[in-house]
């Protein structure tokens, strides 16, 4: 096996949403550093195509693919079972997968789709992998949020946006929720050797919002994204948090452009962090 540099040799890294955009660029960079990469993808064919591209470009054959629909809690539980069948270690978990939709949709579990995919899926997946991460310490959890967290609010009385729905409101809530989760998680993980940080990748030209959208919406998004930065640049902060010795032991922070930044004021409210955690735990039965 030949790799560009071997700084992640011996590390097992899971990246969700690894077949496209920021996740694919993150998985490729980690493979180039010699990591064993576990790609989590919703669609096996799209996942295989990306895996083949990553192994060719990185010359690293230790790139595995696990299929999961992160909008389904049963699928997330199956994913963890499948992972644990062939690995007892996990050093880096990157909760990257995310989606936006213009209209309100529900998952098979009856939850609002963006809340479920962008926030509850990382919440559940992280919980199910915590023992493996602790046993592999030092280990890192990296949660991909968004600048949209700054515009978000947590509607504890309407988390599923049943009373009021708008795409920005639901996306903002999901991306703020993952920041609150990261801070609470980091506190709960103190002393375990497992860190948890979150990040804004910036404005990046990817496929987000396109899958399942109408042709006019797809064309509009393509135009908007043409002003965005490349997925490779957008992945830099994820890669930094996953691999840099500079952030060894750093936890409970929000990063943009690989620099710690302040997130929305409300995200530091520890009482809200706890309330959201408790409601989320009930929603995913952990």
Ligand X SMILES: NC(=O)c1ccc[n+]([C@@H]2O[C@H](COP(=O)([O-])OP(=O)(O)OC[C@H]3O[C@@H](n4cnc5c(N)ncnc54)[C@H](OP(=O)(O)O)[C@@H]3O)[C@@H](O)[C@H]2O)c1
Residues of the shown chain interacting with ligand X in the complex, contacts defined by CB under 6 A: 17, 19-23, 42-43, 46, 69-71, 96-99, 117, 144, 146, 201, 203-204, 206-208, 211, 228
Least Å distance between CB 119 and ligand X?
10
Give the Å distances, CA to CA, from 178 to 19, 196, 216, 224.
21, 11, 30, 25
Burial class (CB in 10 A: 0-12, 13-18, 19+), 285: exposed
Which CB, 152 or 201, lies closer to ligand X?
201
Spell out the residues 6+ positions from residue 92 whose beta carbon is closer than 8 angstroms to its own.
11, 12, 13, 14, 30, 35, 139, 140, 141, 142, 242, 243
Which CB, 136 or 154, lies closer to ligand X?
154
Which CB, 87 or 210, lies closer to ligand X?
210
Q: For 167, phi and psi rounded to 5 degrees?
A: -60, -45
Least Å distance between CB 235 and ligand X?
8
Least Å distance between CB 58 and ligand X?
18
Residues 246 and 237 sit within 8 Å (Cβ to Cβ): no
Least Å distance between CB 104 and ligand X?
16
Least Å distance between CB 174 and ligand X?
8
Residues with a known catalytic role? 171
Which CB, 6 or 207, lies closer to ligand X?
207
Residue 10 zone, left/alpha/beta (φ > 0; ψ -120 to 50; rest)? left
First to last CA, the chain: 40
Least Å distance between CB 146 and ligand X?
3
- Asked if the bond preceding 245 is cis, omega within 30° of 0, the reply is no
Which CB, 45 or 137, lies closer to ligand X?
45
Which CB, 36 or 146, lies closer to ligand X?
146
Give dist(CA 236, CA 230) in Å, integer.
Answer: 10
């Amino acid at each position: 096996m030949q790799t560009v540099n071997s700084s992640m040799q011996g590390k097992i890294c899971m990246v969700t949403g690894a077949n496209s955009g920021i996740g694919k660029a993150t998985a490729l960079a980690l493979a180039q550093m010699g990591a064993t990469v576990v790609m989590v993808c919703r669609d096996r064919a799209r996942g295989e195509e990306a895996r083949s591209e990553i192994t060719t470009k990185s010359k690293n054959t230790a790139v595995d693919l696990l299929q999961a629909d992160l909008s389904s809690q049963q699928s997330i539980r199956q994913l963890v079972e499948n992972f644990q069948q062939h690995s007892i270690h996990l050093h880096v978990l990157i909760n990257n997968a995310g989606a936006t939709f213009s209209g309100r949709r529900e998952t098979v579990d009856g939850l609002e789709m963006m809340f479920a995919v962008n926030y509850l899926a990382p919440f559940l997946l992280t919980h199910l992998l915590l023992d493996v991460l602790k046993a592999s310490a030092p280990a890192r959890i990296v949660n991909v949020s968004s600048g949209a967290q700054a515009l978000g609010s947590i509607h504890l009385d309407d988390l599923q946006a049943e009373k009021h729905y708008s795409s920005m409101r639901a996306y903002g809530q999901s991306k703020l929720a993952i920041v609150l989760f990261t801070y609470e998680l980091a506190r709960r993980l103190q002393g375990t050797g497992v860190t948890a940080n979150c990040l804004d990748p910036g404005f990046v030209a990817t496929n987000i919002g396109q899958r399942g959208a109408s042709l006019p919406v797809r064309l509009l998004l393509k135009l908007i994204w043409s002003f965005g930065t490349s997925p490779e640049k957008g992945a830099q902060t994820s890669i930094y948090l996953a691999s840099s010795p500079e952030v060894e032991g750093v936890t409970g922070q929000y990063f943009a452009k690989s620099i710690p930044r302040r997130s929305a004021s409300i995200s530091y409210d520890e009482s809200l962090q706890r309330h959201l955690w408790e409601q989320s735990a009930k929603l995913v039965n952990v």
